[in-house]
């Protein structure tokens, strides 16, 4: 998920002004999240799902950070320059799709078209790594944004207290009943979940 040759660490073209400001460790997009079409670390499918989610929930959060690197990464070979070692670390660290903040809550959000069992491990692991390498929040909420989800996967995510936002192709979204959208007038259905964010 790294940038192409000639592009900056956030994935933007250095010859164009960027809507991003870098905090050195992760990228923060100010103002409305829907004002941009480029989100660091997200592919086209993930961006489409993310923008659907933003239309419903953006006002309920105070900040969003993308492609958040956590973990120590793999030790770089000694013969590399310091700049190469820094790049090596960035390329081998784990990356959280989105970290979103609400008063008293830090949301770890993964966006996948069709998540499998690996997504469960990612969401659990990212909470531990974020707490160790970035900060320990008052409360973590693990969340998944997806298009398709198998019946067994919903059961597993629910048991791990992962909040699911499903945007089925050609149908209205399926949202958690305990965390309804910030906007009115959009048809959706809910599913019962054991977690209340």
List, for residues 155-171, the tens digit of each pLDDT value: 999 999 999 999 998 88
Let me know if residue 112 belongs to a domain.
Answer: yes
pTM summary value:
0.78
Per-residue pLDDT, 175: 92
Let me know if residue 158 belongs to a domain.
Answer: yes
Per-residue pLDDT, 71: 92
Domain that holds residue 63: 27-177
Let me know if residue 185 belongs to a domain.
Answer: no
Residues in the chain with pLDDT values less than 70: 1-31, 184-187, 191-197
Per-residue pLDDT, 189: 72
Let me know if residue 80 belongs to a domain.
Answer: yes
Per-residue pLDDT, 27: 52
What CATH number is associated with residue 104?
3.40.1350.10
pLDDT digits (tens, 9 = 90+) for 106-121: 999 999 999 999 999 9
Per-residue pLDDT, 192: 61
Total of domains in the chain = 1
Q: Are 73 and 86 spatial neighbours (Cβ–Cβ below 8 Å)?
A: no
Per-residue pLDDT, 19: 36
39, 54, 61, 69, 94 from 36: Cα distances, Å: 8, 12, 17, 21, 24
Let me know if residue 18 belongs to a domain.
Answer: no
Let me know if residue 21 belongs to a domain.
Answer: no
Let me know if residue 144 belongs to a domain.
Answer: yes
Per-residue pLDDT, 136: 84
Let me know if residue 68 belongs to a domain.
Answer: yes
């Amino acid at each position: 998920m790294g940038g192409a040759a000639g592009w900056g660490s956030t994935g933007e073209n250095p010859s164009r002004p960027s809507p991003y400001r870098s905090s050195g460790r992760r990228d923060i997009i100010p103002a409305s999240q829907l004002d941009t079409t480029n989100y660091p670390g997200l592919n086209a499918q993930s961006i489409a799902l993310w923008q659907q989610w933003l239309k419903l929930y953006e006002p309920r959060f105070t900040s969003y950070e993308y492609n958040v690197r956590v973990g120590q990464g793999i030790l770089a070979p000694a013969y590399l320059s310091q700049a190469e070692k820094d790049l090596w670390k960035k390329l081998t660290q784990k990356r959280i799709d989105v970290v979103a903040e609400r008063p008293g809550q830090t949301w770890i959000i993964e966006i996948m078209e069709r998540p499998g069992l690996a997504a469960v491990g990612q969401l659990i692991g990212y909470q531990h790594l974020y707490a160790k390498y970035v900060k320990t929040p008052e409360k973590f909420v693990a969340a998944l944004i997806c298009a398709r989800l198998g019946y067994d996967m919903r059961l597993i995510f629910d048991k791990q207290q992962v909040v699911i936002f499903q945007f089925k192709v050609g149908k209205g979204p399926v949202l958690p009943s305990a965390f309804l959208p910030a906007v009115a007038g959009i048809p959706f259905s809910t599913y019962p979940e054991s977690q209340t964010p």
